[in-house]
Amino acid sequence: MEYIYAALLLHELGKPLEENALSSVIKAAGIEPDMARVKQVVETLSKVDIDKILAQAQAAPVMAPPVAEKKEVKEEKKEEKKKEEKKEEEEVALEGLAGLFG
């Protein structure tokens, strides 16, 4: 990630994305740069329109998770359980009465 952050910093400052510049930024952060990774990042990002990608990332909508729906579902389940319990109790009571007459 440090390599991408360094590349974004260079881009933001309007500096060209070159191996020497990228490795200098990484060194300034206190990290010994891996020149293979530096070369790979420079090569890959030179083919990408960074401004376009940043604009797309900022425009991406963020949806909040639906919290209220979960509570309603739980309440419905509780009501269903209560109704089922009442039906079972009524059935047991009716079975007892049927035994008296049957």
pLDDT tens per residue, range 75-101? 777 777 777 777 777 766 666 555 555
Q: What residue numbers bound the domain in which 98 lies?
A: 64-102
pTM above 0.75, yes or no: no
Domain check: are 53 and 9 in the same one?
yes
Asked if 47 and 74 sit in the same domain, the reply is no
Shared domain check, 46 and 72: no
pLDDT digits (tens, 9 = 90+) for 46-67: 898 988 888 888 776 667 776 6
The better pLDDT of the pair 8, 95 is held by 8
DSSP string, 76-99: HHHHHHHHHHHHHHHHHHHHHHHH
Q: What value does the mean pLDDT of the chain take?
A: 81
Domains held by the chain: number: 2
